[in-house]
Every structure is written in structure tokens, then in C-alpha cells.
Structure 1
Amino acid sequence: MFKKLIFTIPLVALAGHILINKYEQMDHYPWTRDAQVRAHIIQITPRVTGPIIHLAVTDDSEVKKGDLLFEIDPSIYKADLEKAEAQEQQATEQLKKAKNEESRSLALSRRQPGSVPILNLNNLHIAVTTAQANLAAAKAVVHEAKLNLAFTKVIAPADGYITNLNLREGTQVVANQPTVALIDKHSFWVEGFFKETDLQNVSQGDMGVITLMMHPDQPFEGKISSIGYGISQQDGSTGNALLPTVNPNFEWIRLAQRIPVKFHFEMPQDDIQLRVGTTASVKIIKEESN
């Protein structure tokens, strides 16, 4: 019996020490493996309608800001520009004519007062004003036509990666309908979901250690940029027959909710691939424990 105690007591003490040490680590360094890589997704939306005549990118390719992604058939928009420029020229000539007629009538009225009725002079001035307005409208149409022609070339608004590309030359794209997804290269962050009980004394600016499942041996540091102030409510939401949905639970079990915590970081070394939606684990290093 005494021999058993000699072996048992040290084992119990060791186990207790391990448990206490583990608890202290969890208290000072909250950890979760429920985290994902996120980034801003830019939906590339053409501003004009037409068939694609040139596709300059391939699926899962990297692009730079200002790179051509694809070009829409510009022929109809060139024709619209030519028509608008002709209308602008016509409006310019109409304005010249109206000004000349007003100038002649004013000159005659000065030489021979009363030779031109006041009503005619007023009408001539109104004609000049109307011609000026018509010219301004024609110039606006020309400007719009130039913009539409420029919009036939769709360019990348930011550095990033093209993904899930399903376009081909000849595909008809529609104005204001998203066609391509561009992942902003400089917007990556990791979002971890921590139990509410783990976030005591955790604040914005605390450091964290991020480990991607794709690269388990290459952890890197991040910094908490924000901690969520709310999560979606499940109980009380409207269900069938407009009745509230209430999930059953046990009174003696209180499940801790998970709060989203965002970590921003400097881009890690080139051999680490950041891909939206991939899994990560995060350990918070509380400021008070540093």
C-alpha cells in the first residue's frame, strides 16, 4: 500500500501541475482553431454592354492595378461618339448663327434707333441662350460617349488575384452585372472566433500568433484590429407560422458564444500562400502577460 502511494502521489502531483499550467496558458494565451483567412473581394462590373472581343487574363492569375482584364466590342460606342461629335458641331454652328443674327440686329438698332422692335431683340437673345444650352447638352453627350468608349476596356482597380473566371471571348456581358471576382492582394486578414470567456482583458492592438493549416510549420504574427460587438441572435427569430424559434437547451449547461476577432498582419514570406477561406488557428498574447 505504501509503495503504491509512493508512485501515485507524484503522478497525481504531476498531473495537477500539468493541468494548472495548461489552465494558465489558456487564460493568458487564448487559442482557437476556428479561424479563416479573409480578404476583400472586388466584383468587377462592366459599365457597358457588349460581347468580349479580347480576354487578357486567365483564371487564378495575378494582376496589377491598371492591367487590362478584358475588352468589350467598341464598334457601337465608336459610332455613338461620332454621332455625338457631329451633333456638337451642329450645335456649335447654330450658336454662331444665333449670335450673328443678334449682333446684326443690335448694330442696326444702334445706328437707327427703333428700326428693330424690342420684341425681336429679346427673341434673338433667347435664341442665343437656347443655342448655348443646346451646345452644352451636346458636349455632355460627347463626354458620355467618350466615357462609354473608354469603359469598353475593363481594367483592374487594385493589385490582386483573378479567381473563378468563367468568361470567354464572345461572351455577352451586361452593364452593371458583376462578371469577375478580384481578390485584393493587400487586404488579407485572419478572422478567428473565440469563446466569450476567452476575451477577458483582450483588447485591440494585442498581438496574436497565426498558423495556417496549409503551412503548419510557419507561424507568423498578427495584431488584433477589431473585436466584434455583436453576433446574430438565434432564439427569438421568426420561424414557421410567424412564431418565434427557440432552441432547446439544458439549464445546467451554458454554452459560451463565439465572438469574431480580426487580425491584420504584414504580408508573410513569399512561400506562404494566402487563400481566402482557408483554415487557420490563432493564439492571442494578452498585453498584460507581456
Structure 2
Amino acid sequence: MTEPTAKSRRSRLPALLIVLASLLVLGFVLWQMETTPRTDDAYVYADTIDVVPEVNGRIVELPVRDNQLVKQGDLLIRIDPRPYQDALDQARARLVTLNHQIELTQRSVNSQKYEAASAVAAVERARAQATQANDTLQRLEKLLARGFVSVEAVDQARTAQRSTAAELNTARLQAQRAAAGVSGVDALVAQRAEVEAQISIAELSLEFTEVRAPFDGRVASLRTTVGQFASAYKPIFTLIDTRHWYVVANFRETDLQGIKAGTSATLYLLSDTGKRFQGQVDSLSYGVLPDDGGTVIEGLPHVQRSINWVRVSQRFPVKISVQDPDPDLFRIGASAVAVLRPGEAAKTSR
């Protein structure tokens, strides 16, 4: 009885070891899932801009090709600058003409001011003569009563007094007319400010005929060539910002505990799973569109009556910044795998 029992125990030992090993592996996997969340629901992302001209015109130079890498400041598009150069030359010529006109008008204004000053002096002279004639008439009238002067002399003095008074009135009118005739150059100066503004606009438009890369990037979706008429604010192609690459990974809401900005991450792309990249969490999404329920009608949430017994966790995007990305592998939309390490801060690359 003892020997069969021992054999039976020895035969069950491998099965127990296998079960124990399976439990250990299962425990390790569960521990890994809890401590290092992982998802293959991820893709590569980078910021992009639409390359658009800000002026209308025909494309005369397109020194880039589709999928080409460009450096900041490189020429991307040149619009025919001739119409804008002509507009600038015309505005500058208009300013030169206006400056000459202001100069000539200023000379005329100065002459008018001199005439007005001369008219004021004539008024003073006429006033002095009228005062003298009035005083003379008053003296002669006193002498006439005593018989020291003749009536004819008094009449001549009275005539002279009236004549000088009339000349004084005439001089005053001429002075008023001369003062009213003094013009100015204010209107022309205002026109000069307008022309200077037109010159600034023309210079800016001429500058806009060249579109240059605002950052290091890669050309994408280029579907045109030299000779095409480009409309202002209509995209010509897309420029991918290759300075910063991200992986957007959709994690279950149950995996987000302990995840915050700066959390370390390991990434790899399905195009080359042999390469690993380090990264850190840039930000976590705080809103997604729910697939069921949650609809607000007249201020009240609408929740469906029927529910599933198996509840699927909602996934939220986690934006992960990639350190030292491979420019030959990273493409927008490429499939990726992300593994997060909560509680571990990423090491910044030097």
C-alpha cells in the first residue's frame, strides 16, 4: 500500500508544479497590468499647419517636393511679386509727388502770410494818417473861430480827414481779405500719412509673396506645382512640425490612477518593434464623447433604462511626449504601443 501511494504522489507533483507556475505567471501578469499600464490602442501624432499664401498670385517658384524635410526659414512658395512691386513703386512715386506739392504749397502759404503782414502794416499806416488828419482838422477849426486861418484851409483839412478815414477802412478790408486768403498744408499732410500707410501695406504684401518655413518640418500633401494660381488663405500643402513628436495612447479609465504629467513611458512602433523609445506623459484628456447615455435633454441627463451586465471601461487619450524620436520611423498616424510606469518620473535626455 505504501509503494502505490508514493507513486501516486510523485505522478501528481508535475501537475501541481505546472498549476503553481501558472498561478505565479498569472499573478505576475496581473501585477504588471496594475503597476505598468499598457495599451496598443495608440498612434503617433505631431502638430501640423496649413501652408497658405496671404496674397493672390501665380506660383513662380516651388523649391520643395512632397515629403521633403525643410529647415526653419527655407523658402516654400514664391508668388509672382511683380504686381505687388509695381503697387509699391506707385505708392512711393505718389509720396514723392505729394512731398513736392506740399513744398510748393508751403511756399505759397508763406507768401500769403507775408501779404497779410503787409496788409496789417498798411492798416497801421492808414490809422496814423487818419489820426493826424483828425487832429489837424480839430486845430484848424479852433483857429478859424479866432480868424487865424481861412475857411478854405479848414475845408481842405476836413477833406483830408475824410480821405484818410476812407483809406483806413480800405486797408482794414484788405487786411481781412489777406488774412482769410492764408491757406495751409494740413490737408496735404493728411494725404501724406495716408500714402505712407499705403506704402506700408504694399511692402507687407510684397513680403507675403514669399512663404517660408516657420520651423523645421516635413512637407506633406503637396498637390500642385509652378504655374498654379494660388488664392489667398487657401491651403497649398501641410507642414508637419518634426521638432516634437507625440504618441496618443488610449488607456482605460481604470488604468489612470497615479498617471500625471511627467510620468515615464516606454514606447515602440509596430513598424519596427525592435526599437524602444522613452517618453513622458505630456497631458491627460479630460473629456471624450460617450457612446451611450449622458445626453442632456432640457437640462436633465438622459440615461438608458437597459444596461449591460458586462461594463466596458471608457478609454481616455493620454498624450505622451517622445524623447529622441527616430525621424525615419515616426509618421503621423503610425501604430504604437505605450507602457506607462506610474510613480516614476521620466529622465530628460541631454
1:95 deviates by 2.1
The size of the alignment, in residue pairs, is 280
1:236 deviates by 5.3
Give the structure 2 partner of residue 179 of structure 1: 236
Q: TM-score, normalised by structure 2?
A: 0.73
The 10-residue stretch of structure 1 (26-35 or 7-16) with the greater mean CA deviation from structure 2: 7-16
Aligned-partner residue type, residue 251 of structure 1:
N
**Contact 1:205–1:225 at 8 Å: present in 2 too?**
yes
Q: Provide the rounded CA distance (Å) in 2 between the counterparts of 1:91 and 1:236.
A: 71
Encode CA deviations 1:145-190: one digit per residue, 9 max, x unaligned: 1222222222111111111211111111101111111111212111
Give the structure 1 partner of residue 335 of structure 2: 279
1:86 deviates by 2.0
**Contact 1:108–1:115 at 8 Å: present in 2 too?**
no
1:61 deviates by 0.7
**Contact 1:160–1:184 at 8 Å: present in 2 too?**
yes
Q: Provide the rounded CA distance (Å) in 2 between the counterparts of 1:214 and 1:186.
A: 21
RMSD of equivalent CA atoms: 2.5
Give the structure 1 partner of residue 82 of structure 2: 75
Give the structure 2 partner of residue 31 of structure 1: 38
Give the structure 2 partner of residue 66 of structure 1: 73
Call closer, same or farther: CA 1:249–1:15 in 2, change over 3 Å.
farther
Q: Provide the rounded CA distance (Å) in 2 between the counterparts of 1:119 and 1:24.
A: 99
The 10-residue stretch of structure 1 (75-84 or 217-226) with the greater mean CA deviation from structure 2: 75-84
Q: TM-score, normalised by structure 1?
A: 0.88
Matches within 5 A, 1:11-22: 11-22=18-29
Aligned-partner residue type, residue 286 of structure 1:
P
1:99 equivalent to 2:106? Answer yes
User: Which of 120, 140, 154 is residue 181 of structure 2 equivalent to?
Assistant: 120
Tell me, which stretches of 5 or more residues in structure 1 are unaligned?
239-243
Segments of 4+ moved more than 4 angstroms? 1-4, 115-118, 244-250
User: Which of 81, 85, 90 is residue 97 of structure 2 equivalent to?
Assistant: 90
The 10-residue stretch of structure 1 (168-177 or 110-119) with the greater mean CA deviation from structure 2: 110-119
Aligned-partner residue type, residue 281 of structure 2:
I
Encode CA deviations 1:97-129: one digit per residue, 9 max, x unaligned: 3322322223333344236544433xx23xx12
1:141 deviates by 1.1
Q: Provide the rounded CA distance (Å) in 2 between the counterparts of 1:119 and 1:254.
A: 92
Aligned-partner residue type, residue 338 of structure 2:
V
1:136 deviates by 0.9
Q: Provide the rounded CA distance (Å) in 2 between the counterparts of 1:277 and 1:149.
A: 37
Structure 1 or 2, whichever has the larger Rg, is 2
Give the structure 1 partner of residue 227 of structure 2: 170
Aligned-partner residue type, residue 135 of structure 1:
R
Greater helix percent: which structure?
2
Aligned residues: percent identity? Answer: 30
1:83 deviates by 1.8
